[in-house]
């Protein structure tokens, strides 16, 4: 899997991109500072369909790579070009055919919001560049097919954060369809694992495999359960588990404002989990969840609503606003038999995709 380079143009601050947020851990082992992600800020096997390891679609039984290196590079170039056009114009339609799944929902909501708050387009637009691309190509039978692009962005998300990698998962559901970006997480180069290979290609992980501490199909359920009740489970302590719950509890009751959270699994269609085997026998898996954040003000008061959230609002805020978020996680799952900390969240990206006033 050799590295290719995609060049576009100089970078732009990520804060200006959209309503999404990257929650990559920092050196200080604290919850990552939220950042706006992607104004134009898969599935693995597809994992939900490939528990048996083979799918027959139109008679296709052979294990096939999803794309050639040049085809993968073209998919990345097409996504980047569409992203830049949509970000410049604040027009979600310009990139709608190149995004799907959790990234697509976050991206499209962010652009719709910016089209309201800045209807003349993005005056601060600076084109995105994704270079030093390494394409991780897993073989599988039938459709859908997918691959991972490990890239070097020209956008800094955090002052002093140092080098970062954008990991973008592309999915294609049939020979006549376009490659679409379904997942995105932001990591330091040292966090990107070494992927296992067979005959020069990456090895996908089945949804219901019994070789891992938690099967990819169960990751969303286990994560939602932990966030809701806090009971010990397979997830290791860290910014996206223990510290996230502490943040929620601290903000649950403030003078004049109560906040409630409701988490849901999101694993259907292009939201299905996607996993790759790593050289040490673990797996690197992308999965998504959805959560609702309800803020209720004391009688006579209204919750404050950010302009980007207000742009997505339906209903009238009298004393309550409910925000709907999509959260995209990348986790390292240890082999079966691991007694503790079987799952570690390496990166998380989230964004508001809707809001309701009442």
Alpha helix (H) residue ranges in 90-129: 101-117
Percentage helix, strand, coil for the chain under 3-state DSSP, each rounded to 5: 25, 35, 45
Per-residue pLDDT of the chain (358 residues; tens, 9 = 90+): 444 444 443 333 333 334 355 554 444 444 443 334 444 443 332 333 333 334 444 446 789 999 999 999 999 999 999 999 999 999 999 999 999 999 999 999 999 999 999 999 999 999 999 999 999 999 999 889 999 999 999 976 554 456 899 999 999 999 999 999 999 999 999 999 999 999 999 999 999 999 999 999 999 999 999 999 999 899 999 999 999 999 999 988 888 899 999 999 999 999 999 999 999 999 999 999 999 999 999 998 999 999 999 999 999 999 999 999 999 999 999 999 988 899 999 999 999 999 999 9
- Rounded to an integer, what distance in angstroms lies between the CA atom of residue 136 and that of residue 276? 9
Number of domains in the chain: 1
Separation of first and last alpha carbons in the chain: 52
**pTM for this structure?**
0.83
- Rounded to an integer, what distance in angstroms lies between the CA atom of residue 354 and that of residue 241? 24
DSSP-assigned states of every residue in 266-279: E-SGGGS-EEEEBT
Residue 256 CB coordination number (10 Å): 12
Longest pairwise C-alpha distance within the chain = 67
For 142, the domain range is: 3-357
């Amino acid at each position: 899997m050799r590295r290719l380079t995609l060049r576009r143009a100089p970078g732009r601050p990520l804060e200006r991109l959209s309503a999404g947020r990257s929650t990559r851990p920092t050196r200080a082992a604290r919850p990552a500072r939220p950042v706006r992600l992607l104004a134009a800020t898969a599935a693995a096997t597809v994992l939900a369909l490939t528990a048996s390891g083979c799918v027959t679609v139109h008679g296709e039984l052979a294990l096939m790579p999803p794309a050639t290196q040049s085809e993968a590079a073209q998919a990345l170039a097409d996504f980047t070009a569409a992203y830049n056009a949509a970000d410049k114009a604040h027009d979600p339609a310009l990139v709608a055919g190149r995004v799907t799944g959790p990234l697509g929902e976050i991206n499209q909501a962010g652009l719709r919001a910016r089209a309201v708050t800045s209807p003349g387009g993005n005056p601060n637009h600076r084109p995105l560049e994704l270079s030093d691309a390494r394409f991780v190509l897993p073989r599988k039978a039938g459709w859908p097919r997918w691959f991972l692009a490990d890239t070097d962005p020209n956008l800094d998300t955090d002052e002093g954060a140092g080098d970062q990698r954008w990991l973008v998962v592309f999915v294609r559901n049939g020979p006549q369809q376009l490659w679409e970006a379904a997942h995105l997480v932001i990591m330091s180069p040292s966090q990107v694992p070494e992927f296992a290979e067979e005959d020069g290609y990456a090895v996908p992980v089945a949804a219901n495999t019994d070789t891992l501490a938690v099967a990819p199909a169960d990751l969303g359920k286990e994560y939602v359960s932990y966030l809701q009740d806090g009971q010990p489970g397979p997830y290791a302590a860290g910014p996206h588990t223990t510290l996230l719950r502490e943040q929620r509890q601290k903000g649950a009751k403030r003078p004049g404002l109560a906040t409630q959270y409701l988490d849901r699994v999101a694993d259907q269609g292009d939201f299905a989990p996607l996993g790759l085997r790593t050289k040490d026998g673990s797996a690197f898996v992308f999965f998504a969840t959805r959560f609702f954040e309800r803020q209720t003000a004391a009688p006579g008061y209204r919750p404050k609503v950010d302009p980007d959230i207000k742009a997505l609002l339906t209903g009238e805020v009298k004393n309550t606003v409910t925000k709907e978020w999509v959260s995209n996680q990348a986790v390292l799952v240890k082999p079966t038999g691991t007694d503790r900390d079987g799952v570690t969240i390496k990166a998380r990206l989230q964004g508001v995709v809707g809001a309701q006033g009442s």
